């Protein structure tokens, strides 16, 4: 027994040691590789300096590359990035592609002669933020990286860790880039500008359009309900849905409106036009919850604590009382809501044009399920009130001291040209062909990435429907739009010939033609929030104030507290730091 154990242990240990040495060997090799590339780089740099002194032509070429939008660098410029990748990357079968050598990177290399190595990789979101924080902490920044939040961006600026890109932008930004930023009145650039200097190439937010009420059309037809316009129409439809059970779920099994609970950072009004939001119920009465907006006296006020909120709260509380809102809304997760909708137990929710991603299961399980979108409830002028979102999603920054700060802009030029214009179809080079063939299957490899027009969803709708009607060449649009067009066309062809369209095609058609159609036709009253930054007091107290807010709102909506409780909440909110923060916000705006 003992000997046996000893023998086994020894054997295991030997095996472990072997594996360890193997792995050790591997990592050493890797290290060697990086060392050799560094060497290469430095020799390149050396040779560059020697060439610079020998020939004017190379010097001119370098100068040209550094000061114009598309001139390639005379020699390959290597740069490091903090890359967002997805872990489910599928490389084209049979290729030797890697995360640093693929359709994207070769396109950049061919067009402007740059090559990335990834200083770190992580999936987008929390993981990536973690990596960025650690890189900043250790002072070991990649040449180019994405920064997700404005606070970190500002921290980098204030501590002089990133390059001023003003000159590079002025010299090298392509017309297309400028045009895209102009599509949202250059708000994106303004936010990335500190003291008159541009410190980042921001990724623009695409407007989600109006928050739409999505209703089960087949249920409406069955019950003979007309399309809704006012809040009363909606109340009536919800009532009929719940009471008459058009889906045949059995008594009491149909829930009314699906509403996002406070879950995973979401709330019933945490983002305009997000899924399961109820912003429209509040904006209808001029309340803009969770937004800093201009109040009646011109100073900035916090939307959630304005008296206008009470009317919206009254509507929701009454709906809840009458069973028109999912009675378990407080404890649902997004998956639960999706399940209700997929299962045909819920026929009403608010969402932007991409709602079909939440309804697709209902279609797969029941092909009769038909969803219709309405921009409601409208005010007396017949329009929906909405607020705009933060103009930026994130900020691409360049490490202080990086020799080629313009590389970021030139790279983005390439990305925009091949993704946001029809260039991908006119350029016939091998690299571009490979790019077109593979990148749609390769999301998550683009080391630099592009961004899109503010009204991208609307443009896509126009381009796709025009092409479907034969009024536009199918290649006179971006590659992405073209792939959507193809999908929508397949959907139409299938329907026309009496076949069942695939789920993917159904999805794209519902999103891009049905949902976006409403978006395209709707005119909104837009309110621009005036503040997206943080103040000192917010750093510590904001979490508590948010908790107070969500607790109070949820209690009122679920009838645990009267509407009048709202006034008490506002008082407490102000006393707990709300007033102080409001003061600070106004000061910050005044100082800008």
Partner 1 sequence: MKHLKRELSYHIMLLPGMIILAIFTFVPLFGLAMAFQHYIPAKGISGSDWTGLENFKFLFVLPDSKQILINTLIIALGKMILAIVIPVCFALLLNEIRIKWFKKTVQTVVYLPHFLSWVILASVLQYIFGFDGPINAIISNLGGEPIMFMASNKWFRPLMIISESWKEFGYGSIIYLAALTSIDPGLYEAAAIDGAGRWKQLLHVTLPGILPMIILMTTMSLPNILNAGFDQIYNMYNPLVYETGDILDTFVYRVGIVERQYSLATAVGLIKSVVGMVLILSANKLAGKLTDRKMF
Partner 2 sequence: MHKKIKISDVVIFLVVLLLGLSCLLPLLNVLAISFSDSASATANRVKFWPVNFNLNAYKKILNDQQFWRSFVISIVRVVLGTAVNMLLTILMAYPLSKSKRDFRAQGIYMKLAIFAMLFPAGMIPLFMVVKQVHLMDTIWSLIIPTAVPIGNVILLMNFFRAVPKSLEEAAEIDGATPFKILWKIMLPMSLPCLATLALFCIVGHWNDYFTAILYINRTVNYPLQTYIRQVTASFDMSKINNIELLRQYLQVSSRNLNCAKIVVSVIPLLILYPSLQRYFVSGIVMGAVKE
Stretches 150-158, 246-254, 315-323, 435-443: which one binds partner 2 (CB under 8 A)?
Answer: 435-443
Picked from partner 2, partner 1, none, the partner binding residue 35 (CB below 5 to 8 A depending on kind) is none
Residues 268-297 within binding reach of partner 2 (CB under 8 A): 271, 273-275
Structure-token pair, residue 232:
């009363």
Residue 253 or 472: which CB sits closer to partner 1?
253
Residue 120 or 565: which CB sits closer to partner 2?
120
User: What are the two backbone dihedrals, phi and then psi, of residue 49, each rounded to the nearest 5 degrees?
Assistant: -65, -40
Print the binding letters for residues 455-474 with partner 2: x by CB under 8 A, - otherwise.
-x------------------
CB 330, min distance to partner 1, A = 4
Residue in 328, 440, 544, 560 binding partner 2, rule: CB under 8 A: 440
Identify which of 242, 248, 386 has the alpha carbon closest to the alpha carbon of residue 326: 242
Is residue 87 within the footprint of partner 2 (CB under 8 A)? yes
Stretches 204-212, 395-403, 426-434, 545-553: which one binds partner 2 (CB under 8 A)?
Answer: 204-212
Over its C-alpha atoms, the chain yields an Rg (Å, rounded) of 28
Bridge partners of 197? Answer: 194
Residue in 101, 444, 466, 574 binding partner 2, rule: CB under 8 A: 444
Q: Which residues bind partner 1 (CB under 8 A)?
A: 129, 133, 136-137, 139, 151-152, 155-156, 158-159, 161, 253, 261-263, 265, 327-328, 330-333, 335-336, 534, 538-544, 546-548, 550-551, 553-555, 558, 560, 572, 576
Residues 471-500 within binding reach of partner 2 (CB under 8 A): 480, 483-484
Picked from partner 2, partner 1, none, the partner binding residue 553 (CB below 5 to 8 A depending on kind) is partner 1
Is residue 390 within the footprint of partner 2 (CB under 8 A)? no
CA distance 173 to 374: 39
Residues 92-111 within binding reach of partner 2 (CB under 8 A): 99
Place of tokens 């381009």: 463
Strand, coil or helix: 480: helix
CA distance 318 to 568: 20
Stretches 230-238, 240-248, 317-325, 445-453: which one binds partner 2 (CB under 8 A)?
Answer: 445-453
Structure-token pair, residue 272:
């305009």
Contacts made by residues 476-483, CB under 8 angstroms, sequence distance 24+: 476/422, 477/422, 478/419, 478/420, 478/421, 478/422, 478/424, 479/418, 479/419, 479/424, 479/425, 479/436, 479/440, 480/419, 480/440, 482/425, 483/440
Is residue 362 within the footprint of partner 2 (CB under 8 A)? yes
Bridge partners of 198? Answer: 193
Is residue 591 within the footprint of partner 2 (CB under 8 A)? no
Residue 295 or 444: which CB sits closer to partner 2?
444
**DSSP, residue by residue, 23-40:** HHHHHHHHHHHHHHHHHH
Q: What's the gap between Cα 494 and its chain centre?
A: 31
Place of tokens 């069942």: 500
Residue 203 or 262: which CB sits closer to partner 1?
262
């Amino acid at each position: 027994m003992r000997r046996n154990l000893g023998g086994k242990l020894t054997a295991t240990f030997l095996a472990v040691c072997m594996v360890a040495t193997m792995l050790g060997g591997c990592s050493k090799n890797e290290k060697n590789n990086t060392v050799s590339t560094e060497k290469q780089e430095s020799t390149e740099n050396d040779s560059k300096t020697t060439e610079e002194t020998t020939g004017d032509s190379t010097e001119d070429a370098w100068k040209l590359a550094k000061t114009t939008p598309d001139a390639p660098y005379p020699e390959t410029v290597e740069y490091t990035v903090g890359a967002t990748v997805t872990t489910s990357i599928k490389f084209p079968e049979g290729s030797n592609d890697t995360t640093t050598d693929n359709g994207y990177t070769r396109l950049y290399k061919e067009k402007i002669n740059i090559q990335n190595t990834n200083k770190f990789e992580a999936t987008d979101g929390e993981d990536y933020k973690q990596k960025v924080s650690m890189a900043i902490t250790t002072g070991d920044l990649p040449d180019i990286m994405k920064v997700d939040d404005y606070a970190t961006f500002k921290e980098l600026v204030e501590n002089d860790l990133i390059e001023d890109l003003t000159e590079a932008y002025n010299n090298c930004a392509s017309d297309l880039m400028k045009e895209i930023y102009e599509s949202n009145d250059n708000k994106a650039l303004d936010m990335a500008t500190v003291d008159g200097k541009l410190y980042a190439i921001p990724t623009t937010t695409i407007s989600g359009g109006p928050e739409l009420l999505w209703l089960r059309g087949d249920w409406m037809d069955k019950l003979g309900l007309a399309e809704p316009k006012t809040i009363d129409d909606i109340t009536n439809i919800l009532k009929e849905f719940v009471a008459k059970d058009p889906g045949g779920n059995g008594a009491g099994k149909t829930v009314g409106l699906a509403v996002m609970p406070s879950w995973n950072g979401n709330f019933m009004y945490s983002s305009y036009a997000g899924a399961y939001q109820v912003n429209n119920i509040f904006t209808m009465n001029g309340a803009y919850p969770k937004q800093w907006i201009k109040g009646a006296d011109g100073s900035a006020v916090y939307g959630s604590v304005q008296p206008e909120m009470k009317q919206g709260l009254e509507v929701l509380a009454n709906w809840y009382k009458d069973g028109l809102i999912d009675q378990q809304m407080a404890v649902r997760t997004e998956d639960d809501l999706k399940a209700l909708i997929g299962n045909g137990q819920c026929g009403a929710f608010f969402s932007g044009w991409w709602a079909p991603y939440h309804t697709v299961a209902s279609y797969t399980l029941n092909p009769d399920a038909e969803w219709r979108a309405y921009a409601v409830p409208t005010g007396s002028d017949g329009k929906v009130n909405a607020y705009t979102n933060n103009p930026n999603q994130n900020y691409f920054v360049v490490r202080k001291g990086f020799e080629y700060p313009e590389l970021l802009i030139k790279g983005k030029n390439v990305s925009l040209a091949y993704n946001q214009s029809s260039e991908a179809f006119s350029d016939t080079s091998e690299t571009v062909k490979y790019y077109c063939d593979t990148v749609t299957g390769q999301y998550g490899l683009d080391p630099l990435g592009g961004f899109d027009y503010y009204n991208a969803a609307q443009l896509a709708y126009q381009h796709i429907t025009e092409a479907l009607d034969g009024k536009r060449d199918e290649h006179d649009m971006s590659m992405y739009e073209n792939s959507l067009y193809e999908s929508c066309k397949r959907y139409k062809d299938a329907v026309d010939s009496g076949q069942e369209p695939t789920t993917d095609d159904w999805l794209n058609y519902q999103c891009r033609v049905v949902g976006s159609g409403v978006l395209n036709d709707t005119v909104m009253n837009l309110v621009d929030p005036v503040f997206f930054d943080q103040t000192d007091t917010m750093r510590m107290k904001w979490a508590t104030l948010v908790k107070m807010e969500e607790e109070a709102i949820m209690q009122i909506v679920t009838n645990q507290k009267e509407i009048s409780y709202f006034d008490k909440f506002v008082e407490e909110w102000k006393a707990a730091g709300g007033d102080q923060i409001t003061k600070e916000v106004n000061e910050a705006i005044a100082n800008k």
